[in-house]
Amino acid sequence: MTIQKFVDYYDLLQLSPNADAETIDRIFRHLAKKYHPDNVDSSDTDRFRLIVEAHHTLSDPEARAGYDVQYQDYWNHKWGVAAEASNRAAFGDDQVTREKLLSLLYVQRRRDMLSPGIGEVEICRLIGAPAELVEFHLWYLKAKGWVERLETGHVAITAGGVDQVEETKLRLAPDHLLEEHLRTSQVRIEER
């Protein structure tokens, strides 16, 4: 069960994760009666199906133990998202990362119009960022119209992206440039 498809049975049944079997059965009967397809006042077939599924899982000790592991993973993920969202410092480098991406793609297009793009794996290596972060920033830059995906699958800066680089006067510092990284990589290889 993935995080996106996870259903919080405790929330669905309005129960504490510490609820005992008797409480689970009592709440299930109440909600099943309320949302049963035959109830003309409040039927909800999809919700009823989920309630039955939740009851089946939470009333079986082995199934519940397995579910509780998934439940804990789900909430660990949620708390991690909340912690990152509340940490202002977590977003401080985002603009710098986008500037690095645009600078890198700017220089690549300027140097080689026949091969103006760079692959995502190579981008990750060149700017020293994880794939998930690069994917987020590429999404943003694509949505702004500053980068595009070429037929080769590589990512390249657009004319709008070039304008952005030039308008904001991004500093094409050595750590932003492909040439500097390649030179550093060659020195490391030669040292071996």
Q: What is the pLDDT of residues 90-146, one digit of tens each?
A: 555 778 888 888 888 998 898 888 889 998 888 888 888 888 888 989 999 999 999
Name the residue range of residue 153's domain.
Answer: 94-191
The domain boundary residue, chosen from 89, 115, 150: 89
Does residue 178 share a domain with residue 134?
yes
Residues 103 and 149 in one domain: yes
Alpha helices in 16-175 (DSSP H): 21-35, 45-59, 61-86, 94-111, 120-127, 131-144, 159-168
**Residue 9: CB partners within 8 Å, gap ≥ 6?**
15, 53, 54, 57, 58, 67, 71
- Same-domain pairing of 79 and 126: no
Identify whether 170 is part of a domain: yes
pLDDT of residue 3: 47
pTM over 0.85: no
Looking at the 3D structure of the chain, how many domains does it have? 2
146, amino acid identity:
W
- Whether 79 is covered by a domain: the verdict is yes
Residues 57 and 113 in one domain: no
* Cβ 69 vs Cβ 6: under 8 Å: no
